Structure 1
Amino acid sequence: MESQAPSDTTDAAVPTEPAEAPRATANRSTTPGSEAFRAYIGSGWAERPEVTPAPRAQASFAAARRARVSELFPGKRLIIPAGRLKQRSNDTDYPFRPHSAFAHLTGWGSDSEPGSVLVLEPTADGHEATLYFRERAGRDSDEFYANPEIGEFWIGARPSLAQVAGDLDLPTRALAEVDPLLDEADGETIILREADPAITDRVDAARMVLWDDTDGDRDPEDHEDDDRLARDLSELRLIKDDFEVGELRAAVAATARGFDDVLADLPQIVANARGERLIEGAFYTRARVEGNAVGYDTIAASGPHACILHWTRNDGPVVPGDLVLLDAGVEVDSLYTADITRTFPVDGTFGETQRLVYEAVLEAADAAFAIVRPGIRFREIHAAAMAVIARRTAEWGLLPVTAEEALEAENQHHRRYMVHGTSHHLGLDVHDCAQARRDLYLDGTLEPGMVFTIEPGLYFQPDDLTVPERFRGIGVRIEDNILVTAGGAENLSTAIPRTADDVEAWVRRLSAR
């Protein structure tokens, strides 16, 4: 990685720090500060054409989403920050990803600017939306060359206000202009608290000072309205619009190609002592080629690691005769992500017990999918899968009670081998809509446009003495992404091989290339 300061130490002038120098660089900065340098670096640049793009496809959908939020909060100023860069170590940061609610309401995805703020200002007939962000600085400014966090010499070209306004079909203003709105915040201002703690602190401080006594006994530290905004923005994403469904299809298709990439690399993967890392790397390459990144840390779990539900260390070998559980999803540039799991035999053939377990999990997944249609409750999907899991584990003699007894709420013995849930909503977040109310999520009724996973599994830990030795160390999960339609449901990931026979043929075909 390049040093965070120019290396020229021959300038006789005493260096001066730019007004907004990045953290932890002041003690080693060698940025020239002479007037001659400033004049020279700020001159001699070609004119850059200002091209204002036509609105992106998502712009009209984002406008419709903002209109729905406006209806929920009449007369209230709404502040939805994008968030800021998050420190990884010292003066290096994680790649920026805006808060999902901000992306949902603006249409700005992987190309969004850190620190941006969306404000919905109340009007007589709704709200006027404005996007505040820090546009590019001129080449005659210190920022251009001396600030590695935002300077274009360091991170590349940044957009102008006019370009973003045209791209998102949304009025834009300089970021500094949002300051008065933050400093005059009171009970009529509502903020998405979790998105940007620094902005939230400013709003809270303003509320303490400016709270109108006519509001009675309301406590400025009462965040009920803020919490309702977070909840409503989460619930707004429960039903996907046509644009969102299209992006999820694209994410699933890219993920399918990523799985193919992994299988094609199996000979190299098996030959490496940390083959799981090669699986992770092969999939990540596809995610970067076709999207923004992965939607979550890839689980590349081989052998007994497949029994660890969130195994992301991915540092183990991939051994012929074992199974690999690969749970991965491509996040496309709009930030919608797939979430798919396939379990496959390293050498292309399931062992007898491996196939027995695999087919039980597939049966559970198919049973859950079979009941999906508008009008059923979300929790019924899990119940359908668990009925199969309980029956099969009872048949194998693993339970101290019958399947029927295990399914009773006070028992649940079969859950020892599958402690996680069967489904979660999917979208901008891999676990989307997480702040929605229980009666709209777990106890909610399915509606067309909902997208979620179905992902039963069975996990027999290597040291689990309740199961015969032949089961120990086997972990299987099969996960698909499901769209509720007017007439039932569509499995968006059904093109990725699912049956045991198809998976075997898939592995043999691709790994033999």
Structure 2
Amino acid sequence: MSTTGESDTIATPDAETPVSTSTNRRQPYGQGFLDTISEGWAERPDTAPPARAQAAYTAARRDAVSAAFPGKRLVLPAGELKQRSNDTDYPFRAHSAFSHLTGWASDAEPGSVLVFEPRAAGGHDVTLYFRERADRTTAEFYSDASIGEFWIGPRPALSGVAADLGLATAHIDGLELHDDDLVLDENDDLTRFVSELRLVKDAYEVAQMKLAIDVTAAGFDDIVAHLPEVVAHPRGERIVEGVFHQRARSDGNAVGYDTIAASGPHACYLHWTRNDGAVVPGDLMLIDAGAEVDSLYTADITRTLPVSGRFTDIQRRIYETVREAADAAFAAAKPGVRFRSVHEAAMQVIATRVAEWGLLPVTAQEALDADAGGHHRRYMVHGTSHHLGIDVHDCAQARRDMYYDGLLEAGMVFTIEPGLYFQIDDVTVPEEYRGIGVRIEDDILMTADGPVNLSAGIPRTADEVEAWIARLSA
């Protein structure tokens, strides 16, 4: 049975004939059903919940948006359900800016809209519009599989959401749009501002990031503990993905992005999410995974494991070089330095080491030349860091001079994730390097006193990783 997008052929009390539909899966309701479906239901409690923990923080964020757009009417939709196939939809996830400004996260309603209505005296009245639950006397209750509570379960009431989020609420039917509205993802200024608003996290956001990392750390432990099962299955990468997904769903909301479970040569494909390969002893397995918690904040962590439990000499050399680059990037991250300095510090290590191994046609210094160099980037084509938060690649619409060329500030959360990737058919490297891919990724909080590695509790050094596997997968 599909769970969304279906509306059975019905006969309604105020219609003499059933509503026709274009599908042959739907059956008409008999008159006995129609006569009794609205009866025999217990009264619903209508008690208002206390405001959720982030309500004070979301109010402050909305105040910042209001101050930035005086006299402008702002419209921020949560988004709609997206079709997966025929009459099934993907799980709904509200727009990140909408959730950031409302606090409505994994429980947000599709089709909701946050509106900032300018006041003549200044400031804005902010209202959250959404479709309130239908009374059980209406046909919607039993006939509409997208929004009917008989199909999807209880939906929230306007009064309950207002108390929960500390926001005025209204039915979506009362929303009118104007030609001069500034609409999220249509107006560049609004889209940019709400993205840049997330560059510095508040105390609630930092706590949620720590929670997401804790769940992710438990998921990595689960993977290591299941290594024998992973190796035994012909598509062991799928087992890795499934094990992590179970932890993300049981202790959080979902995965924050598609898990990368890349073993052997697959580890050299930066966004390998097919996850259909075997996990073979003697190879390395790169796992890039993050749990998203109910507030929608996500971790983003990568560890690279020797499947047999111990690194070979060449694997250890490559692995420890990547860790050296990560540690150099961490050391370079300080309040007041440019964000791009983190990447530059990692690249200094990568270029130096691959030059020492004889893999470059030029010196490391020549490779690091911004205009004429870049030879080392063949083996690490991606950047070292990105902002992290309610999106895995958070603040993506921020201006370059606020992001890549911006200064690090206390409250920023970002990744450090250097890597080395020697593709299986890359004849520029010795044969023993080919098919080895390594990445180490940690989630970093900048404080006034310097960076803090929030994911440092997940084993990082080659020795720690070997001991981790020995402890959990025996």
Hey, what does 1:367 align to over in structure 2? Answer: 328
The 4+ residue runs of structure 1 with deviation greater than 3 A are 1-9, 24-28
| Counterpart among 301, 304, 315 of residue 340 in structure 1 | 301
Task: Pick the aligned partner of 1:306 from 267, 278, 281.
Answer: 267
How many angstroms does 1:33 deviate by?
Answer: 6.0
1:317 deviates by 0.3
Aligned to 1:420: 382
SS at match of 1:341: strand
Task: Verify: 1:79 aligned to 2:75, yes or no.
Answer: yes
**Residues in 2 aligned to 1:122 and 1:2: alpha-carbon distance in whole angstroms:** 42
Determine whether 1:271 maps to 2:273.
no
Q: CA deviation at 1:28?
A: 3.6
Deviation per residue, 1:299-323 (Å, 9 max, x gap): 0000110000000000000011111
Distance 2:35 2:244 in 1: 47
Q: Is 2:131 aligned against 1:137?
A: no
1:29 Cα deviation from its structure 2 partner: 2.1
Counterpart-to-counterpart distance in 2, 1:8 and 1:118: 34
Would you say the 8 A contact 1:390–1:403 is kept in 2?
yes
Aligned to 1:105: 101
SS of residue paired to 2:117: strand
8 A Cα contact 1:38 1:140, kept in partner: no
Instruction: Name the residue aligned to 1:17.
Output: 19
**Which whole-Å CA distance do the structure 1 matches of 2:150 and 2:402 have between them?**
48
Match of 1:193, as an amino acid? D
Partner of 1:191: 183
C-alpha separation in 2, matches of 1:126 and 1:276: 53
Helix, strand or coil at the partner of 1:459: strand
Distance 1:62 1:470 in 2: 53
Rounded to whole Å, the distance in 1 between the matches of 2:91 and 2:22 is 19
Paired amino acid for 1:350: F
Residue deviations 1:67-94, cap 9 Å, x none?
A: 0000100000100000000000011000
Paired position in structure 1 for 2:249: 288
Aligned length: 467
CA contact (8 A) 1:417 1:460 kept: yes
Cα pair distance change 1:327/1:122, threshold 3 Å: same
Asked if 2 retains the 8 angstrom alpha-carbon contact of 1:15 and 1:30, the reply is no
Q: Kindly tell me: are residues 477 and 25 of structure 1, through their superposed partners in 2, closer, same or farther at Cα, counting changes over 3 Å?
A: farther
Counterpart check, 1:149 vs 2:141:
no
TM-score by length of 2: 0.96
Q: CA deviation at 1:248?
A: 0.3
2:174 aligns to what?
177
Residues 77 and 6 of structure 1: CA distance in aligned 2, closer, same or farther (over 3 Å): closer
Corresponding residue SS for 2:302: strand
Instruction: Name structure 1 gaps, 5 residues minimum.
Output: 19-23, 195-225
Q: What is residue 344 of structure 2 aligned with on the other side?
A: 383
Match of 1:121 in 2: 117
RMSD after superposition: 1.6
Do 2:9 and 2:29's aligned partners in 1 also have CA atoms closer than 8 Å?
no
SS in 2 for 1:101: helix
C-alpha distance after superposition, 1:389-438 (max 9, x if no partner): 00000010000011011101111100000000000000111000000000
Query: How is 1:385-404 mapped onto 2 (pairs within 5 angstroms)?
Result: 385-404=346-365
Residue 193 of structure 2 aligns with which residue? 232
Q: How far did residue 27 of structure 1 move?
A: 4.6
For residues 43-83 of structure 1, give each alpha carbon's deviation from its aligned partner in whole angstroms, at most 9, with x where no partner exists: 11111111210000011100000000001000001000000
Q: 1:6: Cα distance to partner?
A: 6.2
In structure 2, the partner of 1:210 is: none
Instruction: Please tell me whether the aligned partners of residues 5 and 31 of structure 1 are also in contact (alpha carbons under 8 angstroms).
Output: no
In structure 2, what is the Cα distance between the partners aligned to 1:17 and 1:330?
Answer: 43
Using the alignment, how far apart are the partners of 1:319 and 1:507 within structure 2?
15
Q: Secondary structure in 1 aligned to 2:249?
A: helix
Q: Matched residues in 2 for 1:367 and 1:412: separation?
A: 19
Give deviations 1:455-495, integer Å, cap 9, x for gaps: 00000000100000010000000000001100111001000
Secondary structure at the residue paired with 1:176? helix
Instruction: Give, in whole Å, the separation in 2 of the partners of 1:8 and 1:393.
Output: 69
Give 1:30 deviation, angstroms.
1.1
Tell whether the 8 Å contact from 1:379 to 1:443 is kept in structure 2 after alignment. Answer: yes
1:259 pairs with one of 189, 211, 220: 220
CA drift at 1:25 = 5.3
Matched AA of 1:305: H
SS of corresponding position for 2:427:
coil
Tell me the distance in 1 between the aligned counterparts of 2:70 and 2:23: 47
Q: Distance in 2 between matches of 1:470 and 1:97?
A: 44
Question: CA, structure 1 residues 169+31, in 2 after alignment: closer, same or farther (shift >3 Å)?
Answer: farther
Letter in 2 for 1:470: E
Q: Is this contact kept in 1: 2:196–2:398, CA < 8 A?
A: yes
SS of the residue 2:36 aligns to = helix
Query: Which deviations, in whole Å up to 9, do the C-alpha atoms of 1:182-228 show, x marking residues without a partner?
Result: 1xx133x211136xxxxxxxxxxxxxxxxxxxxxxxxxxxxxxx111
1:333 CA drift (Å): 0.5
Change (3 A) 1:298 1:15: farther
Could you tell me how far apart the structure 1 residues matched to 2:8 and 2:65 are?
A: 47
Q: Distance in 2 between matches of 1:242 and 1:132?
A: 28
